[in-house]
Structure 1
Amino acid sequence: MYQPPAFKETREDVLLDAIARHPLATLVCNTNDGLTANHLPMMANEDGKQLHAHLSRGNDLIDQCENGVDALAIFQGPAHYISAGWYPGKNEHGKEVPTFNYVVVHAHGKLRFKHDAKWKLSHLKSLTDKMEYGRETPWSVSDAPAEYLARQLKGLYGLEFEIAELVGKWKMSQNRKDVDKLAVVEGLHDDGDQAAIDTAAIITRTI
């Protein structure tokens, strides 16, 4: 991934936090038939050295890839279009162009398939507890009947992704003057959707 110095993010805690906040990943693997991509939630384990996930038995990734295949998991954080019309320079000299601000994390590593029922159950409990956290009446894996849950576990396989490298890019107007950043924040708030608000919050922290 191209990383201009102004946008490069290397702090592991920041990268893992972005993964935790935006767990839906694009998992890319190279197979004998070429590249394949799957979209699925992936969650880092406690020490941040692995990503855990699962797929339906109907998904043939397990047949397309050997155990230990090199893989890339891409996590997309807040992102939004930035209008050239927001910059003060648009009226002063006109030498402005639009762009797109975004947060992205690339996890490089090796992918292994897990079939152990205890591993799969522990993963599902951890993932569900995380996703349900803060709800008034959170759903728990234990809410499902045991026989039903056993059948569901047989219908999926686990993914254990050993992280070799995390690469982050925060393209959030760091290369602009504060007056431009403030104008962009104002424009994003005027747009008002959640992606705009989240993007504005990150830019504000760079001022």
Structure 2
Amino acid sequence: MYLRPVHAEHHLPTLRKFIRQNPLGILTTAIDSPLHHFLQASHIPWLLDVSDETSETELGTLRGHIARANPQTKAIIHDLTQGSSTATTPRLAKDILVVFNGPAQHYVTPKFYTETKPATGKVVPTWDYAAVEVYGRATVYFDTKEPATDAFLSKQIADLSQFAETSIMHYDRPWSVSDSPANYVGLLKKAIIGIEIEITEMGGRWKMSQELSEGDRAGVVTGFEALGSSVAKEIAESVKERAELAKQKKT
């Protein structure tokens, strides 16, 4: 991701909050395989673990799971089983990438630039959006005979369900994995593998018209608000928030 300084976000608590608000990340791998594409990507919901939520230096760990039938899974397992590793929880040799996208993104028309367009005409369209990218080393839990695999998957699906039911759905009485028959859950666990990512690098990009003049930025906000859609209204709020943050950084 191109992290232009004016759009870049490196504050880890902010990045952690973004991931938890938008947990469906795109897992991207680059694996040499005779049967599958070198580059593969899958949408996976993730949990982010950190030991100190107030820390501005701790990167943390991502936990997720993916269908065993997924071609990306097959490439991952093939890569691990063809190596010389005898570890019960093998780790991929190459880094992986997970990208988290914000729910609101929108085309920005030059007509919004009410200051520069009438003055010089030197304006072009663009796109406003927010995203966070995470790099790391992946440990993979795929061997159904290993106790570590069952332990990881049991905790993963229980924690993910709890997180989604309470933090996303806000249920007072959340659904729990234990509500399903144990033998049914056991069968489903055999159809997935677990992925744990030790994060080595994380960065975000909030491209929300921060680089514009105050007049053009005001035009962007007015333009989006006039569209009336929920997405446009959210973009307008983000543009105002990012402008305020940029102003605070200068003082």
**Larger Rg: 1 or 2?**
2
Structure 2 spans left out of the alignment, 5+ residues: 52-58, 81-90, 143-148, 245-251
Q: Structure 1 or 2: larger strand share?
A: 1
Residues 98-143 of structure 1: CA deviation (Å, up to 9, x unaligned): 1101111110111121242221121112111121121365322122
Shift of 1:20: 0.9
Q: Judging changes above 3 Å, is the alpha-carbon distance between structure 1 residues 112 and 62 closer, same or farther for their aligned structure 2 residues?
A: farther
Please state how far the C-alpha of 1:9 moved relative to its aligned partner: 0.9
Task: Assess, with a 3 A threshold, how the Cα gap between structure 1 residues 135 and 178 changes in structure 2: closer, same or farther.
Answer: farther
TM-score, normalised on structure 1? 0.91
Q: Secondary structure at the match of 1:32?
A: coil
Pair 1:94 & 2:127 matched? no
Match for residue 174 of structure 2 among 138, 156, 166: 138
The equivalent of 1:70 in structure 2 is: 95
Alignment equivalent of 2:132, drawn from 105, 108, 115: 105
Q: CA deviation at 1:5?
A: 1.2
Identity %, equivalent residues: 30
Equivalent residue number for residue 51 of structure 1: 62
1:155 paired to 2:181: no
Partner residue in 2 for 1:12: 12
Change (3 A) 1:180 1:40: same
Query: What CA distance in whole angstroms lies between the structure 2 residues aligned with 1:181 and 1:150?
Result: 54
Report the AA paired with residue 201 of structure 1. E
Q: CA deviation at 1:187?
A: 1.5
In structure 1, distance between residues paired with 2:73 and 2:125: 42
RMSD of Structure 2 on Structure 1 (CA): 1.8
CA contact (8 A) 1:76 1:105 kept: yes
8 Å Cα contact 1:52-1:158 kept in structure 2: yes
- 1:183 and 2:219 are equivalent in the alignment: yes
Q: 1:119 aligns with which of 141, 148, 152?
A: 152
Match of residue 80, structure 1, among 90, 106, 115: 106
Please give the alpha-carbon distance, in whole angstroms, between the structure 2 residues aligned to 1:19 and 1:194: 21
SS in 2 for 1:160: strand
> 1:35-55: per-residue Cα shift (whole Å, max 9, x none)?
111111122113351111101
1:201 aligns with 237
Provide the C-alpha distance between the structure 2 equivalents of 1:96 and 1:174, rounded to a whole number of angstroms. Answer: 15
Whether the 8 Å contact between 1:172 and 1:203 is mirrored in structure 2 is yes
Q: Does the 8 Å contact 1:62/1:113 carry over to 2?
A: no
Letter in 2 for 1:28: T
Q: Normalization by structure 2: what TM-score?
A: 0.76
- Give unpaired runs (5+ residues) of structure 1: none
CA distance in 2, matches of 1:145, 1:79: 41
Give the CA deviation at 1:13: 0.8
Give the whole-Å Cα distance in 2 for the aligned partners of 1:190 and 1:146.
Answer: 52
> Which deviations, in whole Å up to 9, do the C-alpha atoms of 1:67-97 show, x marking residues without a partner?
3231010111132111110111323432221
* Residue identity in the other structure for 1:185: V
